[in-house]
Amino acid sequence: MAESGTTPQPDTSRRVTTLSMWMALIAAFSGWMFDGLEMGLYSIAVPPALKDLMGTTDPKITGPLMGIMVALFLAGMAAGGILFGRLGDRIGRVKTMIITVLMYAVFTGLSGLSQSWQQLAACRFLGAMGLGGEWGLGVALVMESWPSVSRPLLAGLLGAAANFGFLAASGVGFLQANLGWTWRPVLMIGFVPAMLTLLIRLYVKEPELFVRSRQRGETSRFVDLFSPEFRRRTLIGMGLGAVAVLGLWGTVQSWLQLWVTELVKPGSPSGPIAAVTMAMAVGAIIGGFLGGLSAEWLGRRLSFALQSAASLGLVSLLYLTCTEYGTRMLVLTVVVQMAQVAMFGWLPLYLPELFPTRLRATGEGFCFNVGRVVSAAGVLIGTGKLSAALGSIPNAAMLMSLIYVVGIVLAVLAPETKGQELPE
| pLDDT, tens digit (0-9, with 9 covering 90-100), for 310-358 | 999 999 999 988 888 888 889 999 999 999 999 999 998 999 999 998 8
Per cent of the chain over pLDDT 90 is: 23
Query: Does any domain span residue 193?
Result: yes
Instruction: Write the DSSP symbol of residue 416.
Output: P
Quickly count: other Cβ atoms within 10 Å of residue 313's Cβ: 14
pLDDT of residue 13: 42
Residue 420: phi and psi, rounded to 5, are -95, 150
The pLDDT-based confidence of 287 (bands split at 50, 70, 90) is very high
Task: Count how many residues are written for the chain.
Answer: 424
* CA gap 388, 188 in Å, rounded: 33
pLDDT, mean of residues 398-422: 91
Stretch among 114-118, 131-135, 305-309 having the lowest mean pLDDT = 131-135
- The tens digit of pLDDT for each residue in 153-167 reads 888 888 888 878 877
pLDDT at 239: 93
CATH number at residue 263: 1.20.1250.20
**Is pLDDT at 276 greater than 50 in this prediction?**
yes
Higher local confidence (pLDDT), 347 or 397: 347
| Reported confidence tier of residue 265, pLDDT bands at 50, 70, 90 | low
Does residue 61 lie in a domain region?
yes
Highest-pLDDT range among 113-117, 214-218, 379-383: 113-117
**All residues at 6 or more sequence positions from 176 whose CB lies less than 8 Å from its CB, including other chains:** 44, 186, 270, 274
Residue 181 lies in a domain: yes
According to the model, what pLDDT value does residue 17 have?
A: 67
Residue 11 lies in a domain: no
Amino acid at 154: L
- On whether residue 37 sits in a domain, the answer given is yes
Looking at every residue in the chain, the average pLDDT score rounds to 83
Domain presence at residue 60:
yes
The stretch 364-377 carries a mean pLDDT of 75
Of 68-77, 84-93, 353-362, least confident by mean pLDDT is 68-77
Residue 418 pLDDT > 70:
yes
Assess if residue 422 is contained within a domain: no
Confidence of residue 412 (pLDDT cuts 50, 70, 90): very high
Instruction: For residue 102, name the pLDDT band (cuts at 50, 70, 90).
Output: confident
Where does the pLDDT of residue 236 fall: very low under 50, low under 70, confident under 90, or very high at 90 and above? very high
pLDDT value for 230? 92
Q: Residue 148's domain spans which residues?
A: 19-204+228-413
CA neighbor of 240 nearest in space, from 416, 407, 408:
407
User: For residue 307, is pLDDT > 90?
Assistant: yes
Q: What's residue 264's pLDDT?
A: 75
* Residue range 62-78: mean pLDDT, rounded: 79
Write the pLDDT tens digit of every residue in 118-143. 999 999 899 889 888 887 888 888 88
| Structure-model confidence comparison of residues 270 and 386, the more confident one | 386
Q: Is residue 424 part of a domain?
A: no
More confidently predicted of 173 and 119: 119
Say how many C-beta atoms besides its own lie within 10 A of residue 395's C-beta: 15
pLDDT higher than threshold 70 for residue 382? no
The predicted model gives 31-58 an average pLDDT of: 80
- If one counts the domains in the chain, the total is 1
Alpha-carbon span 121 to 376, nearest angstrom: 14
Q: How far apart are CA 223 and CA 231, in angstroms?
A: 10
Residue 2 is predicted with a pLDDT of: 43
Dihedral sign computed on CA atoms, order 62, 64, 68, 73: positive
Torsion sign over Cα 52, 279, 124, 386: negative
Residue 194 reports pLDDT greater than 80: no
pLDDT at 37: 82
Q: What single letter denotes the amino acid at residue 364?
A: E
Read off the amino acid at residue 103.
M
Q: According to DSSP H, which parts of 189-321 are helical?
A: 196-203, 208-215, 231-248, 256-263, 271-298, 300-321
pLDDT grade for 36, boundaries at 50, 70 and 90: confident
* Residue pair 285/159 in contact by the 8 Å Cβ criterion: no
Lowest-pLDDT choice from 121-135, 192-206, 394-408: 192-206
